[in-house]
Amino acid sequence: MKLNITTALILLTAISFSCAHKMKTESSSANHIVTGADQTEAYIDYLKNKRVAVLANPTTIIGQSHLVDSLLKRGVTIVKAFGPEHGFRGNASNGTKVADEKDPATGISIISLYGSKRKPSAADLADVDLVIFDIQDVGCRFYTYINVLRDVMEGCAENGKELMILDRPNPNGYLVDGPILNMQYKSGIGQFPIPIAHGMTIAEFAQMINGENWMQGKTCKLKIIPVKNYDHRMEYTLPVKPSPNLNTQQSIMLYPSTCLFEGTILNHGRGTYSPFTILGSPKLKDKYPFTFTPVSIPGMSESPLHMNQECFGIDLRNYDIAQLRKTGRINLQWMIELYQAYPDKARFFDQSQSKQIGSIDKLSGNAEFRQQIIAGKSEKEIRDSWEPGLSQYREIRKKYLLYP
């Protein structure tokens, strides 16, 4: 009898564990992040009998397939596509102008918004009823897809076209940090009065563009397909690299901190397969044991800084990203340390020498950051100078959030 009771208890425990495990599994599945694009049931009927244009790049996917390819198979009438920096299929290098073309896979005409123009013209939209915007962003002011978003919204607003946004998570959505852009330093890598890391998805940012009147009185009609089961604190690993030089999750998470080195004389991994995760210069030979040699890599960096020269510096490929998530801050210590270590300080921020994309003033959004590093200011002193602007931005941001 004892044996039977014991056996029964064991069976009951096993059944209870099995049920609990099943519930946990179902709950986990229910809470799985689902992008806007993947929710075809939420928008496919809305596209029926409409002439559709799609702003797309290689991150524009449903599952493993490109959105355009998938929608065409579902009978959606796609009359054209618009391509941003790097092109519709992602085959153009960083900063390279992209020409209009025909997509060899579908025969659809692709109009470049990174060539002779930045926004769709009236002629481009004349035969279009609705534009879809579906591009993966990484949550930084100097990542230019938010500029593309504003330009497409403006083109739609001027021509009475609706913009559907298939929203995607921001992998750096937890991060709201950095100095607010002083609009005197407005450029192609900074066009909005926001911090370096804005902490918003593309759809949330679109609402901010409308709400903060960043199109000078124009308002774009938006239809948003939000992400399911998402909040800004969630970790999100991108299924496709968002651009050629953000080719790993590590590079994406370090990007808000290490892209600032584009305004210095240091190579930040361009010309290697580890961009934004390694930092160095030939002149740091006596300071650091870690070395790398930038070379020309077609499609990533054809003429990197210090090409074919051995560079010495810092290796962040195994840096614990959890440290950034824990602090919720951009790392400034690497900039402070490497400036102090660099022997020719007068050249450290010399843009004419670095030949990179943007000056440190344009990247940081002001002239003070460069002066603070040169003056040896502490991280606390630098951060204190970002207030009250950063706190004010956080309050403005709350108005446009779709997710906790």
**Positive or negative CA dihedral for 345, 346, 347, 349?**
positive
- Give the SS3 label for residue 381: helix
Q: Which CATH architecture has domain 40-225?
A: 3-Layer(aba) Sandwich (3.40)
| Residue 212's pLDDT band (cuts 50, 70, 90) | very high
Which of 87-101, 162-176, 340-354 has the least mean pLDDT? Answer: 87-101
387, 179 Cβ separation under 8 angstroms: no
pLDDT for residue 16: 36
Angle at 377 between CA 356 and CA 384, to 5 degrees: 95
- pLDDT of 1 above 50: no
Which of 20-24, 154-158, 230-234, 326-330 has the least mean pLDDT? Answer: 20-24
pLDDT for residue 254: 98
Q: What is the DSSP string of 20-85?
A: HHHHHHHHHHHT--B-TTT-GGGTTGGGTT-EEEEE--TT-EETTEEHHHHHHHTT-EEEEEEE-T
State percent of the chain over pLDDT 90: 82
Task: Count the helices and strands in the chain (H runs, E runs).
Answer: 14, 12
| Residue 95's pLDDT band (cuts 50, 70, 90) | low
pTM recorded for the entire structure: 0.89
Indicate where the chain has its CATH 3.40.50.12170 domain(s): 40-225
- pLDDT of 23 above 80: no
How much is the average pLDDT of 147-157? 97
Tokens 């009250």, located at residue: 388
Backbone phi, psi, residue 237, to 5°: -95, 125
- pLDDT of 221 above 90: yes
Give the N- to C-terminal CA distance of the chain in Å, as an integer. 55
